[in-house]
C-alpha cells in the first residue's frame, strides 16, 4: 500500500511541474466535467478546446475556468489540453457528428444481417477520425468478430464496440426523474452503486417495484441518499414486534413512522398511536434507546 501511495504522490509532483493550471471540460451529451491539465491561464468558460482522452483526440468545452495546479488534489493523472480549438476543429467535429449518424445506420444494417442480438445506442468519432465508438445494449455477450470485419472494410478506421448497461443508457440519454429534476445519473453521478430492495424496506416504503424504478428499469439511485439517515433514526425507535406494558396491559409494536416520529402499538382489544417521546414515558424502564433519544 505505501508503494501505491508514493506512486500517486510522485505523479502529483510531476504534474505540478508539467502543468500550471487544470480546467474542467465537458463533452457533447455528457453533462459531467472532466479535469485536464494546461499551461494557459487565459482559457475562459465556453471556450472550445482539443483534448487528449483515453479514447483519442476530442473536442470539448471549458466548463470550469483555470485553477492553479497547486490546488489539484484528485490523485488521478491529468491528460493534457492540446490546444484551443480552431475553426477547422469545430467544423471537423460537426462533420464527424453527421458521419456518425451514417456509421450507426451501417452498423444497424450489418448487425441485423448477422442476426446479432444487440441494441445500438450511439456512435461517435474521435476528432481525428482515428476511431469510431459504437455503444450498445445486450442481455448476453455478443460475438461481433464478423461485424468488426465488415465495419472496418466499410468505415476504414479503428472500430470499438462498447457494451453498456441500462443505467449507462439512461445516463447518456437523460430525462426527468419522479422528482421532476434531471436524472442524477446524467448530471452528477459518476459511478453506480448496487441498489438493494432492502434499502426500500429500511425506509419503510411500499414495495411497489414500478414506482421504485427509474427510467433505466432498475431501482432508483436516490434510495441510497437517505438510507444512512433512516438507519440511524431507527435506532431511536423500539423494535418491530417487541412487547411492552402500559398500565399493566401488554402491547406489541406493529409499526413506526420515522418522519412523524410515531409508534403504533396494539393488542387484541386496542390500538394506540403514540409520539416516540410519549411512548418511552409510558412504557417506563431505563432502556438504552430511551436514553439515546433523550440525549438528542
Per-residue pLDDT at 177 exceeds 50: yes
Given this model, what pLDDT does residue 91 score?
A: 95
Per-residue pLDDT at 31 exceeds 60: yes
Is residue 52 within a helix (H) or strand (E), and if so which, with residue range?
A: strand 48-53
Classified as helix, coil or strand, 9 is helix
Task: For residue range 242-280, list pLDDT tens digits in order.
Answer: 999 988 889 999 989 988 999 999 998 899 999 998 898
Angle between helices 288-295 and 276-283 (to 10 degrees): 140
Strand ranges for 54-179 from DSSP E: 56-68, 79-84, 119-125, 131-137, 158-163
Given this model, what pLDDT does residue 215 score?
A: 78
User: With contact defined as beta carbons under 8 Å apart, do 50 and 83 qualify?
Assistant: yes
pTM above the 0.95 mark? no
User: With contact defined as beta carbons under 8 Å apart, do 258 and 234 qualify?
Assistant: yes
Task: For residue range 107-148, list pLDDT tens digits in order.
Answer: 999 999 999 988 888 899 999 999 999 989 887 888 889 999
Q: What is the pairing mode between strands 131-137 and 79-84?
A: unpaired
Residues of the chain with CATH 3.30.300: 92-164
Handedness of CA 30, 32, 37, 38 (dihedral sign): positive
Given this model, what pLDDT does residue 295 score?
A: 42
Number of other CB atoms surrounding residue 291 within 10 Å: 10
Residues of the chain with CATH 2.30.30: 235-295
Q: Which CATH number fits domain 235-295: 2.30.30, 1.10.10, 1.10.3470, 2.40.10?
A: 2.30.30
| CA distance readout (Å), 266 to 139, 237, 249 | 48, 16, 10
At the topology level, CATH places domain 92-164 in GMP Synthetase; Chain A, domain 3 (3.30.300)
Task: For residue range 39-74, list pLDDT tens digits in order.
Answer: 988 899 999 999 988 888 999 999 999 999 988 887
Q: What is the pairing mode between strands 262-266 and 271-275?
A: antiparallel
Rounded average pLDDT over 166-186: 79
Amino acid at each position: 500500500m505505501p508503494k501505491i501511495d508514493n506512486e500517486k504522490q510522485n505523479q502529483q509532483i510531476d504534474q505540478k511541474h508539467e502543468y500550471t493550471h487544470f480546467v474542467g471540460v465537458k463533452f457533447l451529451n455528457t453533462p459531467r466535467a472532466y479535469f485536464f491539465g494546461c499551461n494557459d491561464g487565459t482559457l475562459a468558460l465556453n471556450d472550445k478546446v482539443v483534448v487528449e482522452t483515453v479514447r483519442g483526440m476530442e473536442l470539448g468545452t471549458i466548463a470550469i475556468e483555470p485553477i492553479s495546479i497547486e490546488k489539484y488534489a484528485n490523485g488521478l493523472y491529468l491528460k493534457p489540453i492540446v490546444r484551443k480549438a480552431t475553426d477547422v476543429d469545430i467544423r471537423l467535429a460537426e462533420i464527424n457528428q453527421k458521419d456518425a449518424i451514417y456509421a450507426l445506420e451501417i452498423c444497424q444494417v450489418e448487425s441485423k444481417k448477422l442476426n446479432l442480438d444487440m441494441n445500438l445506442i450511439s456512435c461517435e468519432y474521435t476528432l481525428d477520425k482515428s476511431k469510431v465508438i459504437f455503444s450498445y445494449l445486450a442481455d448476453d455477450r455478443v460475438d461481433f468478430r464478423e461485424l468488426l470485419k465488415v465495419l472496418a472494410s466499410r468505415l476504414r478506421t479503428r472500430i470499438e464496440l462498447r457494451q453498456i448497461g441500462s443505467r449507462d443508457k439512461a445516463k447518456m440519454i437523460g430525462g426527468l426523474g419522479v422528482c421532476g429534476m434531471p436524472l442524477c445519473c446524467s448530471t452528477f453521478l459518476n459511478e453506480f452503486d448496487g441498489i438493494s430492495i432492502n434499502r426500500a424496506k429500511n425506509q419503510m416504503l411500499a414495495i411497489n417495484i414500478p414506482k421504485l424504478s427509474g427510467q433505466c428499469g432498475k431501482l432508483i439511485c436516490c434510495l441510497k441518499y437517505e438510507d444512512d439517515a433512516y438507519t440511524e433514526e431507527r435506532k431511536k425507535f423500539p423494535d418491530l414486534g417487541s412487547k411492552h406494558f402500559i398500565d399493566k396491559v401488554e402491547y406489541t409494536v406493529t409499526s413506526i413512522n420515522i418522519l412523524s416520529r410515531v409508534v403504533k402499538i396494539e393488542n387484541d382489544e386496542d390500538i394506540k398511536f403514540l409520539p416516540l417521546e410519549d411512548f418511552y414515558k409510558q412504557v417506563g424502564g431505563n432502556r438504552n434507546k430511551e436514553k439515546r433519544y433523550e440525549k438528542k
